[in-house]
Structure 1
Amino acid sequence: MKSVRTIKKFLVFALASGAFSQVLASDVDVEPTRNTEKHAGISDVSASLKSFASNVVTEHLVTSLAFPKALTTVIDEVNATTHIVIVTRDGELVIADDEGEISRFSLGLDHLYTKGQGGVLDILIPSQFPANPTVLLSYSKGSDDANRLAVVKGELSLTSGISNIEPVIEVAQTKDTPVHYGGKLLQLGTRDASQEQGFLVTTGDGFDYREQAQVISSQLGKVLGFSIAGKPLMNPAFPESPYVYSLGHRNPQGLVQGPKGQVFLHEHGPDGGDEVNLLKKGANFGWPVVTLGKDYSGARISPFSTYPDMTDPIVDWTPSIAPSSMVYYSHDKFPMLTDTLLVTSLKAKALYAVNKTPNKYVSTKIFDALEVRLRDIAVDGEGNLLLLTDGGNAKVVKVRPNRTKFNKRSIN
């Protein structure tokens, strides 16, 4: 099914497919921020955060990266070291240590598909590493006519790369578009060591298959929940489609968990309507029934900016910034950023901070000095920021303080 259908036809289709099932109750108690720079009462937050850029210095740590897609770190607190781990679109694993030594390895991924927005998409190093060397990778596989998102696992060695790669899960449906894969991975925290370790992965709607985001039996436009063995998580929200954790997503990217267990997700809207969501199991986030953006042609996609039983975003970016990744910053190296969501962007070429004020979430642009598309972000063992730039000659840039005093704001 292609997206050229009218919204009227889509609504009939969605209702027939059972898409508008009741979602679990949400505990979001704040209104979404639609145009954050103009809201009254947030000037003090914005002013404090905007001083960030004038109080930092940058340093290039890794250069000559060809279309990197994801960045993460391995922090050894005992030995006070940080390894930077990067994966590139075309299947290269790059590892840099504290001494500046850089190692490059090839990833042996089955039927890697690299056209459009495809390629290797994310790497997740679970908290059990290095006692358990298993890591996860997401990537697009297949051909022009039939491609899909896949998640695999392998064993990571910081000196020899990733070996023993095995499949975990694949999106059930194939598509013939090289865009909107999602692919962001998250390890869900658990307080009970006896509980099954759970993971999430985002999936895009494939662009031309936007209606599938509302079809529970489809795995396009969803967040999927799974175990390391590739099984559905226990107590699924939709027993008939046990992998589906949430639905109604367009092209979800940043995916992080906060200290209270809350999960934040951001995703690309069309022309406008980029958003941050507070993720809930079983929730419907609206796409394409609800959107604050328009089609790239200027046409209206939907008459609805909200809809019963569909969850509104906590932050909206219109015009679009093209958010690419996100971390929850919990270090005190930058006290003004402690307990803050930090969001990288491609189109806006900037770093944003998202904070919770008493009655809304607030987005503030805090750093755009690099003037390049930002693909990912991580934090080193000292609390410095690591920014991954985008493109054919990309870099890892360390952002560190040039003075010690910062004002503190938080996202409780």
Structure 2
Amino acid sequence: MNRPALPAAFALAALLALAPAGARSAAPENAGALPADGTVPFAARRVATFDRPWAIAFLPDGRLVLTEKAGRLFLVTQSGARTAIEGVPTVDDRGQNGLLDVAPSPDFARDSLLYFTRVAPGDGGGALVLARARLEESGGRARLRDPETLWRQQPASRGGQPGGIIAFSPGGRHLFLTVGDRMEPDTAQDPDAARGKILRLNPDGSAPPDNPMAGRAGIRALTWSMGHRNPYGLAFAPDGALWEHEMGPRGGDELNRIRPGGNYGWPEVSNGDQYSGWPIPRHATRPEFDAPGLYWTPVIAPAGLVFYHGPQFPAWQGSALIGGLRAEGLVRVVFGADGTARQADRWVLGRRIRDVAVAPDGAVWVIEDGDGAGLLRLTAK
């Protein structure tokens, strides 16, 4: 398969991007075969149980917002008491599709806005939708008021791998959104298709004027990077760098430092192979593509990404915490001064971990995957 030429704006942004010295040329570590740690430095307590939960996020007051894939949204106290949030729009609950991520506005204490993603049913399949609504509470009840669609995938897709992860930039001026390839891999290299992209939007859904292809028509104006497969983690590091992880095919889960205009190569290159066993060229064979900072073969099936800050685990400051579905646990990644990434720890919990978040008190919270899944609080032993 031949890679189409990148638009000139993408090439210019690639030249101007301030990547750390040597980040593109250094060979990434394969952490897939590294052994798990023999002991865990935390105690895990089950706080509540949910059915097919997908994402968690903390509000400024210490409560969580939690999504269930079937289309349910909850407020949850740290003691486990829950309040169902009414007014959630209809979702297309099939496979990996449904109600996905949720993120409070950076100014939530003032505007009470929740941003959320879902796959909405429609002709030709389901469409990934980014929306926001005001959270209103009264008389022990909670409701989404005046939901507003900010962006909608066009056309819809029948496949899974929707992405849908939200991250606000430091300072809250911009919103970043992952869009998976929806099991249509060739479209990840099509600059006019949303699939396989990371988008950068203003909080109202409009296109920022300094995007790599600002002023271009359609999805190009929103595109920040391309060539992604199945991105279920997106977060900013303390130094302001944006990191993303995505599931590879048969091997090759990736942790990528995202730069404006970057092309991460899917499906032209991968450190994994097709499920049939047919090989895919490796990143090293195509240096024009951005290679991952770290990858896993065998896979961990990463889901959820957060950078740690808090008093519970002082040695973890600035580390990335990643949930593992296949790995059934939690992975900690540390970063060198030159931007290189290295897996420092992998702890087996015996549970498929779908998302991870850090509470205001520094405790780490994770949710399990599937029916009867636990919401767990991890505190230092």
TM-score by length of 2: 0.90
2:60 to 52, 75, 78: 75
Which position in structure 2 is the counterpart of 1:165? Answer: 147
The alignment status of 1:189 with 2:170, answered yes or no, reads yes
Q: 5+ unaligned residues in a row in structure 2: which ranges?
A: none
Which position in structure 2 is the counterpart of 1:92? Answer: 72
CA distance in 2, matches of 1:37, 1:149: 31
Cα distance, 1:219 vs structure 2 = 0.9
Which position in structure 2 is the counterpart of 1:234? Answer: 209
Task: Please say if residues 313 and 380 of structure 2, whose CA atoms lie closer than 8 Å, have aligned partners that are also in contact.
Answer: yes
CA distance in 1, matches of 2:299, 2:100: 21
Cα distance, 1:54 vs structure 2 = 3.6
The alignment status of 1:249 with 2:235, answered yes or no, reads no
CA distance in 1, matches of 2:74, 2:189: 37
CA distance in 2, matches of 1:292, 1:114: 31
Which position in structure 2 is the counterpart of 1:58? Answer: 44
Superposed CA RMSD: 2.4
| Number of residue-to-residue matches in the alignment | 368
Task: Please say if residues 329 and 338 of structure 1, whose CA atoms lie closer than 8 Å, have aligned partners that are also in contact.
Answer: yes
Which position in structure 2 is the counterpart of 1:406? Answer: none
Cα distance, 1:364 vs structure 2 = 3.5
2:89 to 93, 105, 109: 109
Task: After the TM superposition, list the runs of 4 or more consecutive aligned residues in structure 1 that deviate by more than 6 angstroms.
Answer: 16-20
CA distance in 2, matches of 1:245, 1:224: 5
Secondary structure of the corresponding residue to residue 178 of structure 2? strand
CA distance in 2, matches of 1:57, 1:87: 24
Secondary structure of the corresponding residue to residue 187 of structure 2? helix
Which position in structure 1 is the counterpart of 2:19? Answer: 27
CA separation of 1:289 and 1:18: change in aligned 2, threshold 3 A: farther
Secondary structure of the corresponding residue to residue 242 of structure 1? helix
Show CA shifts across 1:248-288 (max 9, x none): 10111110012221111101110111011111111111111
Secondary structure of the corresponding residue to residue 186 of structure 2? helix
CA separation of 1:134 and 1:73: change in aligned 2, threshold 3 A: same
Show CA shifts across 1:80-128 (max 9, x none): xx20210111111121224442212344314x21111100110010221
Cα distance, 1:55 vs structure 2 = 3.0
Task: Please say if residues 353 and 364 of structure 1, whose CA atoms lie closer than 8 Å, have aligned partners that are also in contact.
Answer: yes
CA distance in 1, matches of 2:189, 2:18: 19
Cα distance, 1:317 vs structure 2 = 0.7
TM-score by length of 1: 0.83
* Letter paired with 1:212: T
Task: Please say if residues 32 and 300 of structure 2, whose CA atoms lie closer than 8 Å, have aligned partners that are also in contact.
Answer: no
**1:29-44 paired onto structure 2 within 5 Å:** 29=21, 30=23, 31-36=26-31
Task: Please say if residues 203 and 222 of structure 1, whose CA atoms lie closer than 8 Å, have aligned partners that are also in contact.
Answer: yes
Show CA shifts across 1:342-386 (max 9, x none): 0001111110011124663211343213x1100001111210110
Which position in structure 1 is the counterpart of 2:306? Answer: 327
Secondary structure of the corresponding residue to residue 286 of structure 2? coil
Task: Please say if residues 350 and 365 of structure 1, whose CA atoms lie closer than 8 Å, have aligned partners that are also in contact.
Answer: no
Secondary structure of the corresponding residue to residue 137 of structure 1? strand
2:237 to 258, 267, 291: 258
CA separation of 1:32 and 1:171: change in aligned 2, threshold 3 A: farther
Task: Please say if residues 249 and 273 of structure 2, whose CA atoms lie closer than 8 Å, have aligned partners that are also in contact.
Answer: yes
CA separation of 1:358 and 1:381: change in aligned 2, threshold 3 A: closer
Q: 5+ unaligned residues in a row in structure 1: which ranges?
A: 1-6, 40-45, 77-81, 191-195, 403-412
Tell me whether 151-160 or 310-319 shows the greater mean CA deviation: 151-160
CA distance in 2, matches of 1:391, 1:144: 28
Cα distance, 1:292 vs structure 2 = 0.5
CA distance in 2, matches of 1:388, 1:182: 18
Cα distance, 1:302 vs structure 2 = 3.2
**1:390-401 paired onto structure 2 within 5 Å:** 390-401=369-380
Secondary structure of the corresponding residue to residue 130 of structure 1? helix
CA distance in 2, matches of 1:342, 1:304: 25
Task: Please say if residues 264 and 277 of structure 1, whose CA atoms lie closer than 8 Å, have aligned partners that are also in contact.
Answer: yes
Cα distance, 1:144 vs structure 2 = 7.4
CA distance in 2, matches of 1:19, 1:205: 22
Percent identity of equivalent pairs: 25
CA separation of 1:106 and 1:394: change in aligned 2, threshold 3 A: farther
Secondary structure of the corresponding residue to residue 366 of structure 1? strand
**1:11-410 paired onto structure 2 within 5 Å:** 11=3, 14-15=4-5, 21=11, 23-24=14-15, 25-29=17-21, 30=23, 31-36=26-31, 50=37, 53-63=39-49, 65-76=50-61, 82-110=62-90, 112-143=91-122, 145-157=124-136, 159-177=141-159, 179-190=160-171, 197-207=173-183, 209-239=184-214, 240=216, 241-302=220-281, 304-357=283-336, 360-369=340-349, 371-402=350-381
